[in-house]
Amino acid sequence: MVGLGESYFAAFALAVGLGEVSAGLVGSVPLFFGGVAQLVSPAAVRWFGFEQRWVVFCGCLQAASLIPIAVAAMLGSISLTSLLVFASIYWASGLATGPAWNTWIERIVPARVRTIYFARRTKWAQVTTLLGLVSGGLLLQWAEQGDWVTTGFAIAFFGASLFRLLSVLMLTIHRTTPVTSARDTAAKDAAAKNAAAKDTASREASQQTVPHLAYQPQTNADRGRATASATTAVVPTKPSGSSIGISAIRLLGYLVFVQGMVQLSGPYFSPYMLEKLSLSYRDFVTLLALAFVSKIIALSYWGNFGRRYGAKRLLWIGGIGIVPIASLWILSSNFWWIAMIQIISGTVWAAYELGFFLLIFDAVPASRRTKMLTLYNFANCTSWCFGAAIGGGILAYFEASEKAYWMLFGISSLGRLMALSLLVGIQPGRRLMSRVRVRVLSVRPNGASLDSPVLPSLQRRSSTAALRMATESE
């Protein structure tokens, strides 16, 4: 659905004559309503009874939102207001499932198989997203040659709706037991917390009784367990009920500023490529695919880098790397030059996103990650919306000239550079997360795709790596 549908909203707006500014707004402004929908998601889950019902309902609504757009494509026209409304329903119904889906999927997938399950799930989601993206591009290229472009868009959007309905069917056949009542859940949580508190107190008393246990003679067989114990002592963790730290708040501030600057120009890369550079749909989708594939490949390397050198250094590399990417488009309009930029863009955006996710969830207790993810997505979507609105205003004021695009690209790079000051002094958390899997929600021409973390996939580093990282930080 993602590759075949929403990825082509901006291109569709251009095909029906809505203009370059409108095409950029269609690809960004509706995300704001998606961010707002997440805020009401917990209340909606309570009203629906449990998470599965809410997720299935939103999936059906998202599939339905693509139908009017497909019909409009068959007719060959649609107003900007109508397209924004249907795109907003698409994003609101899609993003509203995030918190509920994370809670539900954690109950479905047993802890012992989560690592391999989410690794495979992410891989196949990326593969099918790429297949949808390339299929849509080839379909539109064929339609353009046959002079039935809007019909090609209709086929793509109908296909995207069908794929979403198939996913809803798969979600429906799961058999999960809903939580009986909020009172029972609260009682169970309280009992679990009391048991954990007693267990902690018991361990502390044991440590006080035998204060020099770590220094007693050991056999070779016991040294491995001693290393793990030393790691636990060296790497403290905050209580699960602690508040969100200042580093997490500053990271969110950095996110808002960066994404605002990125989206100042990001939504307008599609109109720039299709209108100003006059690229074919084949070349257009090739550039999108290059950024997406390079990002997938780079994530594996950056994951190993993060485990070795830490998420903070990884975020700095990504933060610095994304600074010049937009302004490089000013230097040349040669296709191969832009292709190289796309490969670099996907690589540095992978470092930025992975470093940010690892740091933000290291800084937040497990009990607060769902709340932090909701705040992250809301802040992310809001900054996308405001950044795109400002960029659209600048583009409209200068009548969407080529120099106006260059101005957006330059301002965007300058803003990303200024945002780096917010990273100075940020301290990494001590929970030592090493990996996080994501859900691909959108593919963007500039490499800054919209991804949502899968909370049950969060992993800690091994005890040996944790000890090394703790020793280095000390």
pLDDT digit string, tens, across residues 363-372: 667 667 777 7
Q: Out of 142-156, 221-235, 418-432, 459-473, pick the least confident.
A: 221-235
Q: What are phi and psi of 440, to 5 degrees?
A: -80, 115
Q: What is the pTM of this model?
A: 0.80
More confident position, 137 or 367: 137
Rounded CA separation 101/116 (Å): 19
Position 164 pLDDT exceeds 90: yes
pLDDT at 132: 95
Q: Provide mean pLDDT across the span 196-221.
A: 47
The label of the residue with tokens 């003679």 reads 217
pLDDT tens track for 85-136: 999 999 999 999 888 898 898 888 888 898 889 889 989 999 999 999 999 9
Nearest to 24 by CA among 428, 325, 421, 412: 412
In this predicted structure, what is the pLDDT of residue 192? 54
- CA dihedral of residues 36, 38, 41, 42 (deg, nearest 10): -110
Q: Please give the residue that has the higher pLDDT: either 204 or 43.
A: 43
143, pLDDT greater than 50:
yes
**pLDDT grade, residue 148 (50/70/90)?**
very high
Give the model confidence (pLDDT) of 34-84 as tens digits: 888 888 888 898 998 889 999 999 999 999 999 999 999 999 999 999 999
User: CATH number of the domain at 6-179+244-473, out of 2.70.98.20, 1.20.1250.20, 3.50.50.60, 2.30.30.60?
Assistant: 1.20.1250.20
Residue 191 phi/psi, 5-degree rounding, is -65, -40
Phi, psi of 434 (to 5 degrees): -115, -15
Q: Residue 11: what pLDDT?
A: 95
Phi, psi (degrees; rounded to nearest 5) at 441: -100, -20
pLDDT band (50, 70, 90) for residue 306: confident
Tabulate helix, strand, coil % of the chain (nearest 5). Answer: 75, 5, 20
* Positive or negative torsion for Cα 380, 327, 80, 83: negative
